[in-house]
Amino acid sequence: MPFDGMVVSAIAHELKEKIQKGKIEKIYQPETDEINIFIRCFKEKYKLLLSASSKNPRVHLTKVDKINPQSPPMFCMLLRKHLQGGRILDIRQKEFERIIEIDIESYDELGYMHIKQLIIEIMGKHSNIILLDQSENKIIDSIKRISGDINRYREILPGKTYIAPPNQGKINPISMTFEAFKKALSNSSLGTPIYKAIYTSIQGISPTVSREICFRANIHDDQATSNLSTNDYEASWNAIKSFILSSQNSFSPNIIVSKEDKHVVDFYCNYLNIYEGIYESIDFDSISTVLEEYYIKRDLFHRSKQKSSDLRKFVTHTIHKLYNKSQKLQEEFITASNLDKHKVYGELLTANLHLVKKGDAHIEVLNYYDPTANTISIPLNINLTPSQNAQKYFKKYTKYKNAQKEIQKQLHETKNEIQYFENLLHTIENAFSLADIEEIRLELMEEGYIKRKKVSSSSKRKISSSPLSFTSSDGFEILVGKNNKQNDQLTLKIASKKDLWFHTKDIPGSHVIVISKNNKIPEATILEAAELAAFHSKGKLSSNVPVDYTLVKNVKKPSGAKPGMVIYENNKTIYITPRSNILTILQKNESKSK
């Protein structure tokens, strides 16, 4: 469910209740398109998130902490100059649009009181955060500047007069009349389904809410507007007015989840009857909490993918090169495997030098090494003497013999590198935080694969992250490494010799440790740890994933091995099909144990 007019109305209502009259204490900009404003209101502290992300634009109160850049961006500095220390006078929704306006009074550098306006436009890729001087309706600046080359009608640049986004001829549902509603739907193109006519004619109505309105009006949502009767118009009109007006100041925020695995399907600020009997609703007291629950994973996913795109591209390209290298080495090894032939040629030539004349292109001699004693034709270089031809074959034999050993060594190293980079690619694809991505980047720098950047010791501390922690059904702590360095740290430093170590067999994945505390580990915990290992591997979507497990004392790191690479012995193998909700199950166990 995207942000529609009703959700924006619920947010504006909640913000008005909680932070109106509040004082702005701090302002940060953790992302290029995101602002965090810290507010104190009636002895309570709040953090307001404003996001103009093209993927997940939104406004709500948040409790999530993000790493802020060491040097604040220019827009952040501007907001601090104009708004920090200011007081929030009013918060409102513009008509029924996806626009929130916040009026803030603050003193300028000369001590004069001014009212600034912060406008948050929640409109997909066109979303923006704009600061205005309210008295003149002039733009001070915006988080995204829009020049005339991009939009002639509506420039968003410092000093320009602010023009609100065009309403595209849509009607405000709060003030519309039945006649205006009927006319708007009647003017739809021939054959347009009623649900589409509703959301394209009325402000702030999303396709899902359009279908909800049709459901409440007992009209099939695909019915063409040209086929609507007067009763149909009245029923849909009454459904819209009752649905919107009845909840203008009373909302019931909820998240819609599937019945089987509780996977999040949708969210809304009120109950949607179209989902009844199909999905379950989880109620919340706050629309901000709903939005945070719904968007946090989506937002982290999109941002991590964006920030790790260069790493993913580099690692994928490196894997491709390594596979090509491996193929060429195997071809060279096959060629070098013919070394015995050159030794035979050299020895037969040496034994028959008296039969060879300089300038012969080949010679036919009896092959003493062939049990059938057949003759063999040996190619010769006409520019070499018979002795030089024999020496040439002995040199080739020696060269291929040495090459065979070197190729085997290179093949082994290339295989290890492929395994390392495939594991790295899996780690990148499952990285959901800036800290995880930066740890991978730092690892590649330390291994000499990418150019090293200067990283201060304070920055290193900031980007460090911790392994995932779960509690088994028997109460045992299970730790899961999120990257190669964490895998090494878990297995070689944190785990004791009597703890259990898990890893998918011949499949890139995480190291998983069950902390035994010298106690015998039950079968149920072993199965859950194996399932975590399968879930945090490249085989998470497969069935019957092989997982090896053994005592930590049986796991060794060879000298010079790359991060995360180990060898082990005395292991057992268990086959697991990971459940999609295994993390939720084990996290509940962790909450109970606390």
Q: Under the phi-then-psi rule, with left for phi > 0, alpha for psi from -120 to 50, and beta for the rest, what region is 571?
A: beta
The 8-class DSSP code of residue 148 comes to T
Q: From CA 358, how far away is CA 161, in angstroms rounded?
A: 96
Supply the DSSP string of 199-252, one letter for each residue: HHHBTT--HHHHHHHHHHTT--TTSBGGG--HHHHHHHHHHHHHHHHTTSS---
Query: Which tokens belong to 385?
Result: 């003497």
Mean pLDDT of 284-291: 93
Name the helix (H) or strand (E) containing 420: helix 386-429
Other C-beta atoms lying within 10 Å of the C-beta of residue 177: 10
Comparing 122-126, 384-388, 432-436, 473-477, the range with the smallest average pLDDT is: 432-436
Pick the closest to residue 501 from 466, 465, 541, 549 (CA basis). 549
CB-CB contact of 289 with 253 (8 Å): yes
Q: At what angle do helices 309-336 and 434-446 cross, to 10 degrees?
A: 40
Q: What was the pLDDT predicted at 581?
A: 66
Pick the closest to residue 49 from 85, 14, 78 (CA basis). 14
Portion of the chain with pLDDT greater than 90, in percent: 50
How confident is the model over 335-390, as pLDDT tens digits?
A: 777 777 888 888 888 888 888 888 888 888 888 777 776 788 888 888 888 888 88
How confident is the model over 155-211, as pLDDT tens digits?
A: 999 999 999 998 888 999 988 899 999 998 888 887 899 999 999 999 989 999 999
Token look-up 């040209």 returns: 226
CB-CB contact of 450 with 308 (8 Å): no
Q: What was the pLDDT predicted at 214?
A: 94
Pick the closest to residue 304 from 574, 66, 137 (CA basis). 66
Q: What was the pLDDT predicted at 112?
A: 86
Comparing 233-247, 273-287, 446-460, the range with the smallest average pLDDT is: 446-460
Q: What was the pLDDT predicted at 478?
A: 94
How confident is the model over 38-83, as pLDDT tens digits?
A: 999 988 999 999 999 988 899 999 998 888 988 999 999 999 999 9
Domains in the chain, CATH or no CATH each: 5-142 (2.30.310.10), 178-303 (1.10.8), 321-425 (no CATH), 466-593 (no CATH)
Supply the DSSP string of 53-100, one letter for each residue: -SSS-EEEE-----PPPSS--HHHHHHHHHHTT-EEEEEEESTTSSEE
Looking at every residue in the chain, the average pLDDT score rounds to 88
pLDDT band at residue 464, thresholds of 50, 70 and 90? Answer: low
Max intra-chain CA distance, the chain: 116
Kindly tell me the burial class for residue 372, based on how many C-beta atoms sit within 10 Å of its own C-beta (0-12, 13-18, 19 or more): exposed
Portion of the chain with pLDDT greater than 70, in percent: 92
pLDDT band at residue 458, thresholds of 50, 70 and 90? Answer: very low
CB-CB contact of 128 with 164 (8 Å): no
Comparing 13-27, 96-110, 241-255, the range with the smallest average pLDDT is: 241-255
Q: From CA 117, how far away is CA 180, in angstroms rounded?
A: 32
Query: Which tokens belong to 188?
Result: 């739809």
Q: What was the pLDDT predicted at 480?
A: 93
pLDDT band at residue 300, thresholds of 50, 70 and 90? Answer: low
Q: What was the pLDDT predicted at 157?
A: 95
Mean pLDDT of 91-97: 93
Question: What is the bridge-based pairing of β-strands 468-471 and 362-366?
Answer: unpaired
Mean pLDDT of 2-30: 93
pLDDT above 50: residue 460: no
Q: Under the phi-then-psi rule, with left for phi > 0, alpha for psi from -120 to 50, and beta for the rest, what region is 137?
A: left
